[in-house]
Amino acid sequence: MKGQPMFQGRVSATLRRVAPVFAGFAIVVAVAAIAGWNGAAAAGLSGREDAASGIGAWHDAPPVDAAGTGTGSRAPQTQQQLAGSDPHGAYTLTTSSCAACHRSHTAPADTLLTESAREGALCFSCHDGTGANSNVQAQYTDVNVPANNAATSSFYSHPATSPSSHISGLVDEFAGVLNRHSACADCHNPHTMNSTLAVGTSSGWRASGALAGSAGVSASPAYTWTDPIVYEDELCYKCHSGYTTLLSYSKESYKKTDKLVEFDTANASYHPIEAAGKNTTSQLAASLAGGSRWNTFTTGSTVRCVNCHGDYRAASPAANARLAPHTSRYRGLLIANYRDRDLKSSSQAYAAADFALCYLCHSQAPFSTTSEDPRADTNFRYHGKHLRGISNEGGGGLDIDTLGAGQGNAICAECHYRTHSTKLAPWAGNQDYARGVNFAPNVRPIVGEAAPLWSPVTQTCTLTCHGEKHDPESYAP
Amino acid sequence: MLAGTRGAELNARSWRRGALAVTGRPRLIAMLAVTCVPAIVVYAIVARSDARPLPSPGGASAAALPRHAQSLEGAARPMGVAVADDGTIYVTEGSGEHRIRVLDQQGQALLSMAAPEAEAGASAPVYVAISPAREVYVSDQGDNAIHVFAPDGAYIRDVAPPADTAGVWHPLGVGFAPDGRLLVTDVTPGQHRVMVFDPSGNFAFAFGSEGNGDGEFSFPNAAAVDGQGRIYVSDSNNGRVQIFDAAGGYVETIDAWAGGKLGLPRGLAIDGRDRMFVADTLSGLVLVYDVSGAPKFLYSFGGGAEHPLHYPNGLALDSAGRVYVTDRENNRVEVWQTY
């Protein structure tokens, strides 16, 4: 119109004419889309409610094969294309094993995994006995396994089925932080596993194929992230050492100690994880020859963490067997029972079942008698007397962490309190003791002494236990 | 329309201007034609492309998608499911109390069964099948046995393993053929195979061995028989379903669907219209094939937003065309109505 800018007039006029065209086109397209243009199934169906219930899969699906037929049957595959039904390694370039656990474009979880919640649900699709010989899922639904209780420092399982902050087993999620978790991939690398067994060496046991390719923390150099691990203990040190932040407790028997400190081979006494032990006496050799499950260890052997913290279900496993510490009915994820917190009541008789863990490797014979005669299979001739022959001795309570407790037969832990080594014994004066000797908090020092004391040189004890004064008492023959 | 000098200029321009000069009803008709024709052409090209499954040769009704019917709760980590001809539903639990839950069609719990005098924690029922006599057969990998129960839950006996197992076997999949034969998949380490028992319960023959070639198995989880007597085996860890004739002779393999390769095929069943339904645990779907002739993939379901399957495992069909799938990690049995 006159007076208006020419351009504006042209645009508005054109739009008035063209707009209905585009509007009509948009309406038709919209109707077509609603009617199934998005790739839904055969025409003539009212399966709109099904668009959400499965046809969505089409959006996730890769294009059909070149023939475009959409059929499900193909010519029999070659052996190469079907190579291996084991998705855990030895991959060929044409493998389809990756798809067992990963989705390239539609993965709902981290690291392209199909699992959207807990890693374990994916692994248990096979490791529940329906796709693998190892039924790990059954271990996690074992009715005999109590729930973990952090308040009482009572742990019975590595919580692989619990939600966690886990991202990847090859990422250091533990250094210097309190981030305790154990998804399957924190211990197992599913890409590099194999069936080899653990092998004992003079520097410790080399990790089995079940742990091949996993990351851990080394002892030498100490506190160093190690990927992959070489020794089995390096996997354990990742979470059970000062490399990460351990749970802290005030009660001595609840404390979670730094295992890297305890198994240091410079210590005076330790269970031989990283090297053979310091006790090379013939008595210890004879004791080891009488173990109830493993009797071939010698004073020159190393042992595995899982020889004590392993699968309790196996009937008579070899020392190098797959003893995975997934869950246990015994506190501390132990492979056998070990009574270490509750003292015996005054009239309670000795029971071998209380110390089944120790007897796996150490002969029970010295504890089967109250005789005080010297023996060839123990360095302390009063072992039997203390465990069997002092019922009704002392008037204390039953808590091993309470000074003065004790009223009946002794338990191993009263004189061998810290079992891994003596380095972190609760009594500072015991921390360089040999032979695993370190006294529990319930053992009283003699007046004037800072700690209950033992001397292997004079073969004496200087302490008060269960009300009985040893000032000093000698066990020399 | 612009009037005056401006209008005259515009009207004197190209044929498009001339067309736009048309007004009224003819103009409306012309515009509809202009918009609809290209839209129809585009729709016809794209919507009819091969990027869709082919309709079933059985006709439009056979290709109609299943409709989700209901979700049944009450079983912890359900692994296997079976439906009796009276509609009673049997579901095995993979965790919790490890019982066999018995539900009615409304999902109400009727009773539960457990293996007899099993050491606490040892029993682990996996798959379940109903015999023609309505006995309940349950494979138990904790006991390494097939327990047989009466419909009221009373334990009757265990299926005797074939003599060549020396009494030690690892039965996993269980299924009944229409003629009453019992099929059992055995996953004894190194000796994965399928066993066939006659309707009287006597061992008839076994076929297959462990491996990944034709006729070989790696953790076969299910076996079923179609109307022609052919045996279908869910060869789970090999990612395929293998088809055999009634004597156990290898016929062919299904290892893919329109969306790619099979992931972890588990429970499977064939309905009266020659459709095979198989639960693919790792794809989270039920895949359906027409097996009246050479197997043809039809469609999938179970991956949608409303009732997504989270590790489907066991699968069963009833006589009313319903598909039952154990939605393992959702602790449910999902039921779809097929057409």
**Integer Cα distance of A420 and A427 in angstroms:** 15
| A-chain residues near B98 (CB < 8 A) | 141
pLDDT at A83 over 80: no
pLDDT at A230 over 80: yes
Nearest CA in chain A to B67: A50
pLDDT at A225 over 80: yes
Stretch A332-341: mean pLDDT, rounded? 98
User: DSSP 3-state assignment of A287?
Assistant: helix
A117: pLDDT confidence band, cut at 50, 70 and 90?
low
- Residue A398 belongs to some domain of the structure: no
- Residue A352 belongs to some domain of the structure: no
The beta-carbon neighbor of B300 closest among A54, A126, A143 is: A54
- What percent of chain A is modeled with pLDDT above 70? 80
Strand partners, B78: B93
* Chain B, window 141-160: residues with a beta carbon less than 8 angstroms from a chain A beta carbon: 141-142
B323 has a chain A CB within 8 A of its CB: no
Q: How far is B81 from chain A (nearest CA, A)?
A: 15
- How many domains is chain A partitioned into structurally? 1
A105 has a chain B CB within 8 A of its CB: no
**Integer Cα distance of B216 and B239 in angstroms:** 12
pLDDT at A11 over 60: no
Tell me what pLDDT residue A27 has: 63
Contact A295, A289 (CB under 8 A): yes
- Residue A67 belongs to some domain of the structure: yes
B33 has a chain A CB within 8 A of its CB: no
Is the bond leading into A221 cis (omega within 30 degrees of zero)? yes
- Residue A69 belongs to some domain of the structure: yes
The beta-carbon neighbor of A125 closest among B141, B289, B311 is: B311
Q: Tell me B211's DSSP state.
A: S
A57 has a chain B CB within 8 A of its CB: yes
A31: pLDDT confidence band, cut at 50, 70 and 90?
low
A154 has a chain B CB within 8 A of its CB: no
What's the farthest any 2 CA atoms get from each other in chain B?
Answer: 107
- Domain span at residue A83 reads 13-133
**Integer Cα distance of B57 and B274 in angstroms:** 11
A114 has a chain B CB within 8 A of its CB: yes
- Residue A72 belongs to some domain of the structure: yes
H or E element in which residue A64 lies: none
Choice among A79-88, A448-457, B147-156 with the minimum mean pLDDT:
A79-88
Stretch A284-288: mean pLDDT, rounded? 98
Q: In this complex, do B260 and A52 lie within 8 Å of one another by their Cβ atoms?
A: no
pLDDT at A57 over 80: no
User: DSSP 3-state assignment of A14?
Assistant: helix
Q: How many helices (H) and strands (E) does chain A have?
A: 11, 7
Stretch A143-157: mean pLDDT, rounded? 96
Tell me what pLDDT residue A281 has: 97
The beta-carbon neighbor of B35 closest among A21, A82, A133 is: A21
A66 has a chain B CB within 8 A of its CB: no
Distance of CA A31 to the CA centre of its chain: 58
DSSP-assigned states of every residue in B69-101: EEEE---SSEEEEEE-TT--EEEEESSTT--EE
**Integer Cα distance of A300 and A368 in angstroms:** 26
What would the pLDDT profile of A364-373 be if each residue is shown by its tens digit?
A: 999 999 999 9
Q: In this complex, do A131 and B254 lie within 8 Å of one another by their Cβ atoms?
A: no
H or E element in which residue B139 lies: strand B136-140
B55 has a chain A CB within 8 A of its CB: yes
The beta-carbon neighbor of B51 closest among A45, A64, A77 is: A64
Query: A423, A424, A470: which is closest to A445 by C-alpha?
Result: A470
- Residue A113 belongs to some domain of the structure: yes
Q: How far is CA A343 from CA A274, A443, B213, in A?
A: 31, 12, 61
Q: How far is B29 from chain A (nearest CA, A)?
A: 11
pLDDT at A108 over 60: yes
Nearest CA in chain A to B38: A25
**Integer Cα distance of A465 and A435 in angstroms:** 19
The beta-carbon neighbor of A121 closest among B79, B307, B329 is: B329
* Chain A, window 26-55: residues with a beta carbon less than 8 angstroms from a chain B beta carbon: 27-29, 32, 36-37, 39-42, 44-45, 47, 49-55
Which residue, among B251, B299, B315, B328, would best test binding to A if mutated, counting the most A CBs under 10 Å from its CB?
Answer: B299
Tell me what pLDDT residue A60 has: 27
| A-chain residues near B43 (CB < 8 A) | 29, 32, 37
| A-chain residues near B189 (CB < 8 A) | 133
* Chain A, window 382-411: residues with a beta carbon less than 8 angstroms from a chain B beta carbon: none
Q: In this complex, do B98 and A36 lie within 8 Å of one another by their Cβ atoms?
A: no
List per-residue pLDDT tens for chain B, 339 residues long.
Answer: 444 545 454 444 545 555 555 677 787 787 777 777 766 776 666 555 433 444 433 433 445 889 999 999 999 999 999 999 999 999 999 998 899 999 999 999 999 999 876 554 588 999 999 999 999 999 999 899 999 999 999 999 999 999 999 999 999 999 999 999 999 999 999 999 999 999 999 999 999 999 999 999 999 999 999 999 999 999 999 999 999 999 999 999 999 999 888 999 999 999 999 999 999 998 899 999 999 999 999 999 998 888 899 999 999 999 999 999 999 999 999 999 998
Q: In this complex, do A42 and B68 lie within 8 Å of one another by their Cβ atoms?
A: no
Q: In this complex, do A72 and B36 lie within 8 Å of one another by their Cβ atoms?
A: no
Q: Over chain A, what is the mean pLDDT?
A: 84
Nearest CA in chain B to A19: B31
What would the pLDDT profile of A288-336 be if each residue is shown by its tens digit?
A: 999 999 999 999 999 999 999 999 998 889 999 999 999 999 999 999 9
Q: How far is CA A36 from CA A40, A45, A148, B63, in A?
A: 5, 9, 53, 15
- Residue A103 belongs to some domain of the structure: yes
Q: In this complex, do B212 and A84 lie within 8 Å of one another by their Cβ atoms?
A: yes
Q: How far is B307 from chain A (nearest CA, A)?
A: 6
Q: In this complex, do B213 and A129 lie within 8 Å of one another by their Cβ atoms?
A: no
A106 has a chain B CB within 8 A of its CB: no
| B-chain residues near A138 (CB < 8 A) | 124, 142
**Integer Cα distance of B287 and B97 in angstroms:** 31
Q: In this complex, do A131 and B236 lie within 8 Å of one another by their Cβ atoms?
A: yes
Q: In this complex, do B141 and A141 lie within 8 Å of one another by their Cβ atoms?
A: no
A3 has a chain B CB within 8 A of its CB: no
H or E element in which residue A185 lies: helix A184-187
Q: What angle do CA A244, A249, A254 make, to 5 degrees?
A: 100
The beta-carbon neighbor of B252 closest among A21, A73, A131 is: A73
Tell me what pLDDT residue A37 has: 42
**Integer Cα distance of A263 and A270 in angstroms:** 6
Q: In this complex, do B63 and A36 lie within 8 Å of one another by their Cβ atoms?
A: no
Q: In this complex, do A17 and B20 lie within 8 Å of one another by their Cβ atoms?
A: yes
Q: In this complex, do A144 and B121 lie within 8 Å of one another by their Cβ atoms?
A: yes
Q: How many C-beta neighbours within 10 Å does residue B278 have?
A: 27
Which residue, among A85, A88, A326, would best test binding to B if mutated, counting the most B CBs under 10 Å from its CB?
Answer: A85
Nearest CA in chain A to B55: A42
Contact A468, A394 (CB under 8 A): yes
Which residue, among A1, A27, A49, A71, would best test binding to B if mutated, counting the most B CBs under 10 Å from its CB?
Answer: A71
Query: B118, B86, B82: which is closest to B100 by C-alpha?
Result: B82
Query: B286, B289, B266, B271: which is closest to A70 by C-alpha?
Result: B289
| A-chain residues near B10 (CB < 8 A) | 13
A163: pLDDT confidence band, cut at 50, 70 and 90?
confident
CB pairs under 8 A between A and B: 238
| A-chain residues near B337 (CB < 8 A) | none
Query: A181, A144, A178, A146: which is closest to A166 by C-alpha?
Result: A181
Whole-prediction pTM value? 0.80
B273 has a chain A CB within 8 A of its CB: no
User: DSSP 3-state assignment of A148?
Assistant: coil
Q: In this complex, do A36 and B47 lie within 8 Å of one another by their Cβ atoms?
A: yes
The beta-carbon neighbor of B50 closest among A60, A68, A140 is: A68
Q: What is the 3-state secondary structure (H, E, C) of A218-258?
A: EECCEEEEECCCCEHHHHHHCCCCCCCCCCCCCCHHHCCCC
Per-residue b/e over A58-92, b at no fewer than 16 CB within 10 Å?
beebeebeeeeebbbbbeebeeeebbbbbbbbeee
Tell me what pLDDT residue B106 has: 94
Q: In this complex, do A72 and B297 lie within 8 Å of one another by their Cβ atoms?
A: yes
What would the pLDDT profile of A401-419 be if each residue is shown by its tens digit?
A: 999 999 999 999 999 999 9
What would the pLDDT profile of A254-270 be if each residue is shown by its tens digit?
A: 999 999 999 999 999 99
